[in-house]
Amino acid sequence: MIDVLIVGGTWAPNGESVTDTFSRALDLSRFAPRMIPYPAEYGGRMSYAESSAAGKAALLAAIEKTPNRVVVAGYSQGAAIAGDVAAEIGRGLWPKLDVAACALIADPLRPAGECVGTDPGGYGIAGQRWVTDIPTYWAAAPGDPITALPAGNALRLVADLSQYFCMDSPEAALIWGRSLVDTVVHRRVQRWWAPKNWSAWSGALAYARGYLTDGRHTVDYVRHGHAARLAETINREIA
């Protein structure tokens, strides 16, 4: 049996909708999917960065504890966590841990051109992260700004400046303010405004609507089969 350790998306840590669809499409005679509990927050009780750090620690602990082979998977914030962990293991940073494959849905760090099925173009809103030495498969829906955003789209600024966003307390707000200064001073902002990207500037509103109201980041992964297709790829490719 192969354990599929799944990290859910922001405000959906228990396998709601997208990740549940992915889990149910796996070959359950060979794969045992389970969710990895973590805060799944984005500026509520804690910042995205703090939530992601907690998710990473939980996933690493779960990989270490299981006696079975492991596939790591994730959706949205969970995809960023699972992909980062796979990338670190692939680079040898956790030599005692082994992962057979990685499956990522709506990854905020999806590299351009990496997609099961038709590539929707663009890449992750937070940039691009490659995974080496571990087979990795991505599902990306057209119009989803989290994972298929054009290089020159101004929404990239949201990802760059909101990692530590949290207004739960004055102390949290101060940490966020300091993170903004640090990001700008150390030039960690993506160059979405570069002249080569000017032609893509006009699409910010459409991509924002796709996220907020049109379901490009949520129900599209179920109704258009992206989540199930990713599971079928895992069924086929991982022996």
Domain ranges of the chain: 2-149+214-237, 156-209
Residue 130 Cα distances to 71, 91, 163, angstroms: 17, 11, 20
pLDDT average, residue stretch 30-57? 90
Q: What is the pLDDT of residue 46?
A: 79
pLDDT average, residue stretch 99-120? 96
CA atoms within 13 A on the CB side of 173: 4
Cβ atoms within 10 Å of 71's Cβ, excluding its own: 26
Mean pLDDT (the chain) is: 83
The tens digit of pLDDT for each residue in 131-144 reads 999 999 999 999 99
Residues paired with 12 in a beta bridge: 9
**SS3 of 103, please?**
strand
Residues paired with 34 in a beta bridge: 5
Q: What is the pLDDT of residue 58?
A: 98
pTM over 0.85: no
Pick the CATH number of 2-149+214-237 from 1.20.1050.10, 3.40.50.1820, 3.30.70.260, 3.40.50.300: 3.40.50.1820
For residues 85 and 208, which has the higher predicted lDDT (pLDDT)?
85
Q: What is the pLDDT of residue 172?
A: 39
What is the Cα–Cα distance from 97 to 65, expressed in whole angstroms? 10
30 and 71 in contact (C-beta within 8 Å)?
no
The tens digit of pLDDT for each residue in 139-170 reads 999 999 889 988 877 777 766 544 533 344 43
What is the Cα–Cα distance from 68 to 32, expressed in whole angstroms? 10
What is the Cα–Cα distance from 214 to 55, expressed in whole angstroms? 28
Residues paired with 105 in a beta bridge: 75, 139
Q: According to the 3-state scheme, what is the secondary structure of 110-150?
A: CCCCCCCCCCCCCECCCCCCCCCCCCEEEECCCCCCCCCEC
Residue 197 Cα distances to 49, 152, 194, angstroms: 28, 4, 6
Q: What is the pLDDT of residue 10?
A: 86
Q: What is the pLDDT of residue 15?
A: 75
What is the Cα–Cα distance from 100 to 65, expressed in whole angstroms? 15
Assess whether pLDDT exceeds 70 at residue 210: no
For residues 73 and 154, which has the higher predicted lDDT (pLDDT)?
73
Band (14; pLDDT cuts 50, 70, 90): confident
